[in-house]
Amino acid sequence: MDIGFYIIWNKHSVKSKGNVVGDELFAESLCKSINKQFKSINAELYAPNYLPKKKLDALIYLNESAPNEKLSKYHFLYIQNGCEENIDIIINKSIALGYDGHIFFSEIIKNLFDKKKQPRKNSLYLPFGVDLDHFSPRQRENRFTFDCAFIGNDIKGPESAMKYLYPAAEFNFGLFGNWKVERHKYKIWKNLKKLPPYKKVFENLSRGKISQNDVPLLYSSAKINLNNTIKSCVEWDVITLRTYEVLACKGFLISDSVPIAKKTLKDCMVFTEGGSDLTEKIEYYLKYPKMREEMAQNGYNFVVKYCSIDSRVGELINYVQEIVK
């Protein structure tokens, strides 16, 4: 069986000068796991600049786009991204596009879809899973032993950055990713002066793009890793991939709150309300390395047992094979 994963951005973002596309990294880890576990299946990532040379048995779209009958016999939509659209709009669009199967990273969205879809079709709830071959505990390196660390960009907006990241600027903060202020959007000088405080600070602090090989080293070496969750993923009760990746590296993590994370990972990480609460928790846990190590060990044990990409892929292939017969 030939299975493809399709993203709407061009492939090879890791080698580009722009932002790394998370969808590409996640899809590549899915392909790697499938090819490792299922010898009778060939899985590959496709994109507008890299299309299949022959018709596939199944194509899984990681972004909403109309199924292309020339590319595959069967088509699946995997909703695994947060966005600003209303859930009802997302579900109605996915139904209208006529996919053969639907996969959701949120159980809330899956349940709403199942109620709306008539005639009813089976859907799959598939949370994120982490590639334990890549994200694993590493020997600490001095160049990454920051008080706090974060990899990302400004996609989650000013409110989230101010609450859950900006307080770390008071400490030795290892910030990576694209935080360049797009000055062309602020043509009037007085508007540029009204930028949220973190904008210029993070532009100066950021060490730029980090190689994918160095990411596990950073998570393992930093005293505290930070996470902020896009608003829709909080509302849809989704544990984001970064959470699992940090814990898989035995990294200590402080994050904003997501209900399912507070329920399942309460002994594995620390939750914060942001702002002064984050400052206080950073100060507190920097004083107690043993406490950090114990919690990080709990997180590692949990992720290895329950949240690997290999176990998720097993569920995915079973679901696809039920439809592609």
Pairing of strands 72-79, 101-104: parallel
pLDDT at 83: 81
Q: What whole-number distance in Å separates Cα of residue 119 and Cα of residue 287?
A: 58
Q: Please give the structure tokens belonging to residue 180.
A: 């360049």
What pLDDT shows up at residue 17? 67
User: Residues in the chain with pLDDT < 70?
Assistant: 16-18, 118-120, 183-193
pLDDT at residue number 240: 95
Q: What is the dihedral of CA 25, 27, 33, 39, to 10 degrees?
A: -140
Both structure tokens of 133: 């071959």
pLDDT for 84 equals 75
What is the spatial distance between Cα 110 and Cα 11, in angstroms, rounded to a whole number?
28
Integer Cα distance of 277 and 274 in angstroms: 5
- The pairing of beta strand 148-151 with beta strand 253-255: unpaired
The span from the CA of 69 to the CA of 214, in Å, is 40
- Supply angle C-alpha 287, 289, 292, rounded to 5: 110
Four-way CATH pick for 142-306: 2.60.120.380, 3.40.50.2000, 3.40.50.10860, 3.40.50.970: 3.40.50.2000
Closest by CA to 109, choosing from 94, 99, 96, 98, is: 94
CA distance 75 to 297: 40
pLDDT of res. 248 = 98
Q: Are 69 and 95 in contact (CB under 8 A)?
A: no
Spatial separation of the C-alpha atoms in residues 270 and 253, rounded to whole Å? 6
Identity of the amino acid at 21:
V
The answer to whether the beta carbons of residues 98 and 116 sit under 8 Å apart is no
pLDDT at residue 315, rounded to an integer: 97
Q: Do 68 and 20 contact (CB within 8 A), yes or no? A: no
Query: What CA dihedral angle connects 166, 276, 289 and 176, to 10 degrees?
Result: -10
Angle between helices 241-248 and 289-306 (to 10 degrees): 110
| Cβ-contact 45, 12 below 8 angstroms | no
pLDDT at residue 191, as a whole number: 58
Q: Do domains 2-129+308-323 and 142-306 have the same CATH topology?
A: yes
pLDDT of residue 169: 98
Round to whole Å and give the CA distance between 303 and 246. Answer: 10
Which class in CATH covers the domain with range 2-129+308-323? alpha beta
Domain boundaries, the chain: 2-129+308-323, 142-306
pTM above 0.85, yes or no: yes
Contacts of 285 (CB under 8 A, 6+ apart): 223, 224, 252, 254, 270, 291, 292
Q: How far apart are CA 149 and CA 167, in angstroms?
A: 12
Whether the Cβ atoms of residue 39 and residue 61 lie closer than 8 Å to each other: no
Tokens matching residue 39: 């010898």
Nearest to 128 by CA among 301, 310, 263, 3: 310
Give SS3 for 172.
coil
